[in-house]
Amino acid sequence: MQPVLTEKEEKRNTVIEPEEENWDLVIEPKHSLLDLKLKELWKYQDLLWLWVRREYVGAYKQTIMGPLWHFFSPIFGTLTYILIFGKIADLSTGGVPMFLFYNAGIAIWNFFNGCFSSSSGAFLSNAGIFGKVYFPRLIMPMASVISTLIKFGIQISLFLVVYLYVILAQDYRPDVGLGLFYVPLSLFLLAGIGFGFGIIVSSVTTKYRDLNMLVGFGMQLLMYATPIIYTYSSVDPDLKKYLALNPLVAPVEAFKHAVFGIGDFSAYSLLYSFCWMVVLLLLGIVLFNKAEKNFMDIV
């Protein structure tokens, strides 16, 4: 039975209700999974850039060579790959000079790996700051993806110097043209997949860290399942069927097509990778938002 309201009560209800219910923020134990909180993220965009700067500047304070250190690991990595995969295993580079081939491979893999691993540590490595103040937690892994992109930019500049030298001095003529437009697309796909997968791992491992162990060596295997140290076209057709399932193949091949003109990919394979990226991103953001709520209690 409905309670009968007097006129006065009715009036009060109608007057007070809209004012009282006008809350800017309601904190409840559960929230809608579909609320991706992207609007809030946009409000904090200044923090994103400042955080990138902090990570970047902070890392090289009191070093003399600063970001030049980024050259060292790819140079030595490339030399090792030349020795092991080029000279000893004698793998085909599809006619591309070895240094360029392995250097580009390392740069692109480091980029993906960097996006993934920095996002996957988002909760654990920022636990201190997350415990003290609220801001959209997604800012942190996003900032690390951007700093990974900067790092890639530095590493690829080394590649470009050698690339131009080889073209001018050694008469290497790669079949490059409009294909260069594939570079941003390829980076976008790799960053999206790495970020999405990373924040999924980050959210799932806040309480039970077992998955972290698996992921460490899984990434190593994944590198060998991606045409980094070999050319995709040289792979046995029977094996190719399985390799094609790896969403990283198409963007990596697109990148190689762009700079060397030797990639083996199609619009469908790129679309396949794109679908992976969308699914991983959506799932990642949903899980991440769910995990951020109480992660301080269980981390």
- Residue 25 binding other proteins, by CB under 8 A: yes
- Residue 134 binding other proteins, by CB under 8 A: yes
3-state secondary structure of 143: helix
**Structure tokens of 208?**
């039970």
Compare residues 51 and 102 and give the one whose CB is closer to other proteins. 51
CA 11, CA 5: separation in Å to the nearest integer? Answer: 9
Q: Which of 249, 279, 49, 274 is nearest to 149 (CA)?
A: 49
Compare residues 57 and 161 and give the one whose CB is closer to other proteins. 57
DSSP codes, 98-127: HHHHHHHHHHHHHHHHHHHHHHHTHHHHTH
Looking up tokens 């809350």 gives: 23
- Residue 18 binding other proteins, by CB under 8 A: no
The number of residues that bind other proteins (CB under 8 A) is 36
- Residue 2 binding other proteins, by CB under 8 A: no
Compare residues 71 and 135 and give the one whose CB is closer to other proteins. 135
- Residue 135 binding other proteins, by CB under 8 A: yes
CA 30, CA 120: separation in Å to the nearest integer? Answer: 24
Compare residues 89 and 127 and give the one whose CB is closer to other proteins. 127
Angle at 155 between CA 235 and CA 189, to 5 degrees: 55
Compare residues 87 and 207 and give the one whose CB is closer to other proteins. 207
- Residue 127 binding other proteins, by CB under 8 A: no
Compare residues 69 and 76 and give the one whose CB is closer to other proteins. 69
Shortest distance (Å) from residue 47 CB to other proteins: 4
Angle at 251 between CA 241 and CA 285, to 5 degrees: 100
CA 250, CA 2: separation in Å to the nearest integer? Answer: 64
Which of 8, 90, 208, 221 forms a contact with other proteins (CB under 8 A)?
Answer: 208
Interface with other proteins (CB under 8 A): 19-20, 22-29, 43-44, 46-47, 50-51, 53-54, 57-58, 61-62, 129-135, 207-208, 293-294, 296-298
